[in-house]
Amino acid sequence: MRNSQSKLIIGIWLLLVGFILILIPFLSEWQSNRDARALEEALSLVADSEQSNIEVNVMGKTMTENELEQVMRLEIPVIDLNQLVLPETTEQNLKVALTQIKKEQVPGEGNFTIAGHRGYRAERHFSRLPEIDKGDTILLHANDKTYKYQVFSTEIIEPTYLEILEDHPFRREITLITCTRGGQERIAVRGTLMNETAALAVGE
């Protein structure tokens, strides 16, 4: 009898552990979606408000108006991507949006680098980055301007190949990086700057 009870208790615990393990990704996704919505609302508040020195609580921390104005937006029409780009790469930021890899980057200058999680949902992060082909358009919206890039290279690289992030003299590029599905390698999409214009409405 005791043996049967022990097996029953162990079985129940295994079911609970399995349920928790299944639940964790959904809870993480819910938290990320909530933070992303809060960030979008904060950006709208800054854009629409006539007040100055606005501070809002986003992702568990206080962000100033100046910090929010540093947030950019990446648009890739061919894969229906429209994601915010945060100025710093941290694990928390990567859960919510795309991030700049190098500090103090300037849009339209050098090699502007952006990282993003692969994600398991088609509309999230860089999940569809592998579908991009040469000639496709990448739009970076920043500082009331839109920077238009044309893809010239898509490749799979090793995580240690950091040279792909370097600037090159007289070249203005963008480099997008995410993991392969297995996570062992990286997918790199590179584009060259075609032109920059006054900011367009997203989707134009």
Point out the residues that are catalytic. Answer: 117, 179
Per-residue pLDDT of the chain (204 residues; tens, 9 = 90+): 556 667 666 667 766 666 565 555 555 555 556 666 767 666 666 566 666 666 666 666 667 777 777 889 999 999 999 999 988 888 888 888 899 999 889 999 999 999 998 865 556 689 899 999 999 999 999 988 999 999 999 999 999 999 999 998 889 999 999 998 888 899 999 999 998 777 654 444
Q: Cα separation of 78 and 11, whole Å?
A: 48
Instruction: State the pTM of this model.
Output: 0.75
Q: Where do we find the tokens 């709208």?
A: 44
Q: Cα separation of 134 and 113, whole Å?
A: 18
Q: What ranges do the domains of the chain cover?
A: 1-69, 72-198
Question: What pLDDT is recorded for position 113?
Answer: 96
Question: What pLDDT is recorded for position 19?
Answer: 58
Q: Cα separation of 146 and 88, whole Å?
A: 20
Taking the alpha carbons of 46, 51, 57, 62 in that order, is the dihedral positive or negative? positive
CATH architecture of 72-198: Beta Barrel (2.40)
Which has the closest alpha carbon to 77: 180, 146, 3, 178? 146
Q: Cα separation of 15 and 20, whole Å?
A: 9
Question: What pLDDT is recorded for position 88?
Answer: 85
Exposed/middle/buried for residue 135 (C-beta within 10 Å: 0-12, 13-18, 19+) = exposed
Question: What pLDDT is recorded for position 175?
Answer: 97
**Distant-in-sequence, close-in-space partners of 88: CB < 8 Å, separation ≥ 6:** 99, 100, 103
Residue type, 119: G
